[in-house]
Amino acid sequence: MARFLLRRILYAIVVVILVTLIVFVMSRLSGDPRTVFLNEYTTQEQWDEWGRQWGLDRPLIAQYFLWLGRALQGNLGNSLRENRPVWDVVMERVPATAQLALGAFIFALALGLPFGVLSAVKRGSWWDYLGRTIALFGQALPPFWLGIMLILLFSVQLEWLPTSRREGIPHFVLPSITLGWLTAAGLLRLVRSAMLDVLDSEYVKMARAKGVGEGGIVWKHAFRNALIAPLTYAALVFVAFLTGAVVTETVFAWPGLGRLAVESVKSLDLAVLSGVVLVLTALYVTVNFLTDLLYAVIDPRIRLE
């Protein structure tokens, strides 16, 4: 167990370093960050002073290790656009993205899990066809199109829900559905497939032969043993909500990390972009690590050693 934990921690450190290095190098391909401040009054002395102040006069690899060393000390630098610490800029957006991700995750679970189980248990019935139809449309509809259509229907035509911004609970409904619809469809198909495999297994047939009730077979025997793959998918998807909500946050003008990353790219605020990537990568690696540990809790057959 100790060797497993140590190995996973080392892998996590390597992943974080590689991801931040790739993003750091690619961000520099778009040009020197100092060009954001250029105007007709900029002098060579000012240009050189900016380079010394922000470390931009050094080789690229030296700039990266300088940034990484400061990041390990909790200093992500200052935002070129807002002229304040990157950590403060990023942390201001975390609650909005976390709330949106939680709403989308709850929607995906509420739709995907029960319909996945029903489709498997009621195989060939209208419940099964309904579940497969939801999965088909869920994976076929692009999030940006779905978000716009939801706004047109529920905000413009029916006037039931607000179009954008982050205020009360009604403002969470449309963004959560838009972000969680694709995941709900994938989770539904995954649960259905896993449940069908388990329901056709020999120990389930034995349980039926011994007179175990259908409810006990479905939830105690089948559902728990079919939960490994959906658990992995759900855990990684939750982090993907945090890292990949760019489209949804843009459509609904949601002040989250995805929108902050887009704004940072447009304004060449590379310090903020690197900070966002570092925070999101750390979250992704942490959740992936915790998911591996949960395997042994759900399925005793798995031995992490």
Q: How far apart are CA 162 and CA 164, in angstroms?
A: 6
Mean pLDDT of the chain: 76
Rounded Cα gap, residues 74 and 98, in angstroms: 21
Q: Is 32 helix (H, G, I), strand (E, B) or coil?
A: coil
pLDDT in tens, 215-266: 666 666 667 667 767 777 776 777 777 665 777 877 787 888 878 888 787 7
What pLDDT sits at residue 181?
Answer: 84
CATH superfamily of 90-298: MetI-like (1.10.3720.10)
Is 257 within 8 Å of 276 (Cβ atoms)? yes
Q: How far is CA 233 from the centre of its chain?
A: 11
User: Per-residue pLDDT averaged across 42-54, rounded?
Assistant: 75
CA atoms within 13 A on the CB side of 70: 17
List the chain domain ranges.
2-72, 90-298
pLDDT at 203: 66
